[in-house]
Structure 1
Amino acid sequence: MSNRAPLIAFFPEASFGAALNCVAIAQSLAELGAESVFVCHPGFSGVFSQYGFKEYHLSRDVDVSQDETEDYWQEFIERHTPHFSLSPLDQLDTYVGPTWDAIVETVEKEDGSLYSLLGRLSPDLVVLDNVIMFPAILRLSIPWVRVISCVETELADANVPPYLSGLSVGDESAIQTFNEAYLKAVEPAWHRYQKFRQSHKLPVLSDGEFLEPSPWLNLLLAPSMVRRERSEVLPKDKFVYLEGCVRREAPFNLPVFAKDTFPLVYVSFGSLGAIDVALMQRMIRVFERIEARFIVNVGGFLENYDNVPDNVFLGAWFAQPSIVKLADLFVHHGGNNSFCEALYFGVPSLVMPYCWDGHDNAIRAVETKTGSMLHRSNWTDEELKDHIESLLDNNSMKKRLRDNARVMQQQPGSATAANAILALCSK
């Protein structure tokens, strides 16, 4: 490679967890002299430029406006919100299968644009943070890095519970039932995707798989405190674990509360949870009865809330790491980025999962004693109150998490990832 700065093209999926995880890595790469740019799905314009990175926007093969794209996904989530209260097994037919089909449709519509864009950019490396492969990357023969920022169960192993199952190791009967149901639920989307791969002369993947490991480098956002013991050890030259991957944000100025000495609880369920306004309102009524300060992310639905208690502060968006750093408890949906941020700052988690990797992280929080889990909506006021107060009073858990946070912060995943990426570029 020449003496010029390497050009790294990040291509995260259209979710804030993946997007902001990649921002953290790009920030570390910038410190090491590399140039990072972001390829964006429609609807994510401006997410990366606010951090100072160049954006290149995909255009679909079919002419669809940004507003139409946002409306499509908003309607998709609203339609599936009732399914978020179902068990992981029951969500396979109602949510997981349809979601995989929607993901495959995105690949079909945007792969041509990605091929043209990456061809023009000619990056030294592509960093893909997604659950599915876009054939354009393989067709261009550009070295690529797979980032597994969803959850470690995405990478199958005999000692690891099935992806999206919310199951524990050892529950063999439930695991077999889930595996069979999963393959059946995703089969239509899988066949559709394999047909698209074959149209580009790419090999078919194993049943139920949508993304192969990178032959160059794979980065797993799985801190050691919650990491699983695999039956097959992953080769260290191709698989690198990250101890958290937290982006840098400006400090957060806490709002003034009547009781500023009360513990601080941050509540965020991402874009999925914000849509369920009725559930959030129900939770806020419980928060009023707890001796704590609550900062609650309600997304774009702030106007739906009135008579907010004095100990609750609502906002449409927050620079999450800056608040989690100050919090005594993080109540979230189990997204892997949120879970890892809680670990990175030594904060207990109350995981109330909606779907996808939330189920896996919820059970893992319980198994590793890094938090507790509660059903998304099937709880009494007293149950929610008891879970929050118990976690706030659990001094032994908080000490273990603080001790672990110091270790994680001494070896930040964003720096580990950046160094591994540049080492690959230099080959």
Structure 2
Amino acid sequence: MPDAAAPKTIAFFPEAAFGPALNSVGIAQAVEARGHKAVFLSDPGFLEVYRGYGFEAHPVNLSEPMPAEEMAKFWSDFINGHIPNFRKSPYDQLDNYVKDCWTAIVDSARWAQKDLPGVLAGIRPDVVCVDNVILFPAIKQSGKPWVRIISCSENEIEDPDIPPHLSGCGEQDHACHEAFRARFNEVIGPLHAEFNAFLKDCGEAPYPLGQFFEASPFMNLLLYPEPVKFQRRHPLPPERFQYLEGCVRKEAPYEVPGFAANEGKPLVYVSFGSLGAGDVDLLKRIIAAVGKLPYRALVNVGDYAGQYGELPANVQIAGWFPQPSVIAQVDAVIHHGGNNSFTECLYFGKPAIIMPYVWDGHDNATRVQETGHGFKLDRYDWSEADLAAKLEACLTDPAIRQKLLATSTHMQAANGPEKAAAIIEGLA
């Protein structure tokens, strides 16, 4: 009989994007702290991310194999080529950015099926945790318990009373819900038929139109915290769905540098993520605006530092920041609405101005404003006076500060990574 107390092997297979990847790192750190072994299955371009945190990582091709630097350039070019579409509404992004993304995601499932069965057989994990928006049949067919992690907005698990995923609709705007769902299904229909044909080839049943994944019969972990949850018509049963109340990873300490101007004034952190940093003109505009305000700012410019000239004396840029360690020390954040940035701001009680451009950033921007934790601001249609007013409100509005204090206290008491690790250990 197997020893229930013996160390287990927990495999993590996140989407090849920093949001899901770093969320899984946080859970994996907690799994190892409990005495188990965490290993990562990864697109080759992300192997070094996990190895950099000290984890074993195994390649699974999610596209035609190419050198890591070429893969990074591919996604950078993909995002930068869609910058004109970032000006469009979520509805008007469906037949360009969203369709192109889903095409790549479906291709990733086909490619993964070539490598994944053999990799799983070699690792022999006790539990597999997958953070993605599409089914990988090999995981479902592995014979092991599998956990679905939802690191994007919780509306990835649908309900008729809440906004559809990616829509940016308000919770009560049901006309918006209906219009977005109908257009999404219309645009995605031919691709969905191709995916169902792939599922049939793999011995799996087809999904209803618009659905590319299912809830795990074992456990599903959602990052969304209680204070921003949607009111569902059909509440999620806790024996299969658990909210982690955020899931903030441990990062290296960060020492705030000195500034040539405004030393001691409120500190603002600006980040649109590694891919959103390609929107250089927008970041330059924000830098110019913040440069005139009585604040200091740290700005994440990704791989584009060479495109910035002389900076205001109260602004410093870098190509990367240990984000949780930075957000813990700042006074307000301007970001793109990625779910790690969204939940980290809530976890540390920091007000946010979200300028969304794609994917669940639209949902999180709407949600941060309608729950009173910050503001949604159009990515391009704003004035310096708009930005200044919203930053001042972030720093001085007592209702926002009180709301954030309560949310932060709740989330930090929950300890999401530890909660996730305990649930996964129970399945193993």
TM-score tier after normalising by the smaller chain length: over 0.9
Structure 2 portions without partners, runs of 5+: none
The answer to whether residue 72 in structure 2 is matched with residue 70 in structure 1 is yes
| Partner SS, residue 281 of structure 2 | helix
Q: Are 1:29 and 1:36, in contact at CA under 8 Å, matched by a contact in 2?
A: yes
Structure 2 equivalent of residue 387 of structure 1: 390
Q: 1:48 aligned to 2:50? A: yes
Indicate the SS of the match to 2:39: strand
- Pairwise mapping of residues 310-325 of structure 1 onto structure 2 (< 5 A)? 310-325=313-328
Secondary structure at the counterpart of residue 136 of structure 1: helix
Q: Conserved in 2, the CA contact under 8 Å of 1:61 and 1:112? A: no
The answer to which of 160-169 and 348-357 deviates more is 160-169
Change (3 A) 1:62 1:269: closer
Describe how 1:66-105 pairs up with structure 2 within 5 A: 66-105=68-107
Q: Give the deviation of 1:57 after TM superposition.
A: 1.4
Counterpart-to-counterpart distance in 2, 1:54 and 1:213? 27
Structure 1 101/369 Cα, relative in aligned 2: closer, same or farther at 3 Å? same
Q: Which residue of 1 aligns with 2:158?
A: 156
C-alpha distance after superposition, 1:260-300 (max 9, x if no partner): 21011111000232001111111111011111110000000
Residues 207 and 12 of structure 1, relative CA distance in 2, 3 Å threshold: same
Q: Which stretch shifts more, 61-70 or 1-10? A: 61-70
Q: CA deviation at 1:396?
A: 2.8
Whether 1:396 and 2:408 are equivalent positions in the alignment is no
User: Partner residue of 1:249?
Assistant: 251
Q: Following the alignment from structure 1 to structure 2, what is the Cα–Cα distance between the partners of residues 78 and 147?
A: 28
- 1:4, distance to aligned residue in structure 2 (A): 2.8
Query: What SS does the aligned partner of 1:128 have?
Result: strand
C-alpha distance in structure 2 between counterparts of 1:403 and 1:52, whole Å: 34
Aligned pairs (5 A) from 1:108-119: 108-119=110-121
Aligned: 1:339 with 2:342: yes
Look up the match of 1:260.
263
Question: Where do residues 176-255 of structure 1 align in structure 2 (5 Å cutoff)?
Answer: 176-255=178-257
Q: Does 1:329 align with 2:369?
A: no
Matched, 1:367 2:370: yes
- Cα distance per residue 1:123-176 (max 9 Å; x no partner): 001000111111111232221100000111111112211111111233222221
Give the Å deviation of 1:225: 1.0
TM-superposed CA distance for 1:361, in Å, is 0.6
2:396 is equivalent to residue 408 of structure 1: no
Unaligned 5+ runs, structure 1: none
- Structure 1 window deviating more from structure 2 (167-176 vs 9-18): it is 167-176
Find the aligned partners of 1:64 and 1:316 in 2 and give their Cα distance. Answer: 24
Contact 1:334 1:353 in 2 (8 A): yes
Deviates more, 1:37-46 or 1:106-115: 106-115
| SS of match in other structure, 2:166 | coil
| 1:424 aligned residue (411, 420, 427) | 427
Deviates more, 1:384-393 or 1:312-321: 384-393
Q: How far apart in 2 are the matches of 1:423 and 1:401?
A: 32
SS in 2 for 1:153: helix
**What one-letter code is carried by the residue in structure 2 that aligns with 1:81?**
I
Contact 2:63–2:108 (CA under 8 A) maintained in structure 1:
no
Counterpart for residue 17 of structure 1: 19
Structure 1 CA distance for aligned equivalents of residues 64 and 305 of structure 2: 33
Matched, 1:358 2:361: yes
Q: CA deviation at 1:403?
A: 2.9
State the secondary structure of the residue aligned to 1:132.
coil
Cα RMSD, aligned residues only = 1.3
When normalised by structure 1's length, the TM-score is 0.97
Q: CA deviation at 1:193?
A: 1.3
TM-score by length of 2: 0.97
* Amino acid aligned to 1:6: K
SS, match of residue 165 in structure 1: coil
Distance (whole Å) between structure 1 residues aligned to residue 352 and residue 46 of structure 2: 28
Does the CA contact (< 8 Å) of 2:293 and 2:388 recur in 1? yes
Contact conserved, 1:218 with 1:240, CA < 8 A, in 2?
yes
Indicate conservation of the 8 Å contact 2:127/2:146, yes or no: yes
More divergent stretch after superposition (104-113 vs 125-134): 104-113
Query: Would you say the 8 A contact 1:96–1:185 is kept in 2?
Result: no
Instruction: Tell me the amino acid that sits aligned with residue 77 of structure 1.
Output: I
- Matches of 1:10 and 1:275, distance apart in 2: 29
CA contact (8 A) 1:335 1:357 kept: yes
Report the secondary structure of 1:235's partner residue: coil
Distance in 1 between residues matched to 2:80 and 2:382, nearest whole Å: 22
Counterparts of 1:158 and 1:333, CA distance in 2: 26
1:182-213 alpha-carbon deviations (Å, 9 max, x no partner): 10111122112111111111111111111110
Q: Which residue, 280, 299, 304 being the options, matches 1:301?
A: 304
Q: Which residue of 2 aligns with 1:277?
A: 280
1:223-277 CA-to-partner distances (Å, cap 9, x unmatched) read 0110112111211111000111000112110010132210111110002320011
Q: What percentage of aligned pairs have identical amino acids?
A: 42
AA of the residue aligned to 1:369: G
Task: Please give the alpha-carbon distance, in whole angstroms, between the structure 1 residues aligned to 2:73 and 2:43.
Answer: 14
* Alpha-carbon offset, residue 304 of structure 1: 0.8
1:255–1:141 CA distance, 2 compared to 1 (3 A): same
Distance in 1 separating the partners of 2:355 and 2:64: 37
Partner-residue secondary structure (3-state), 2:82: helix
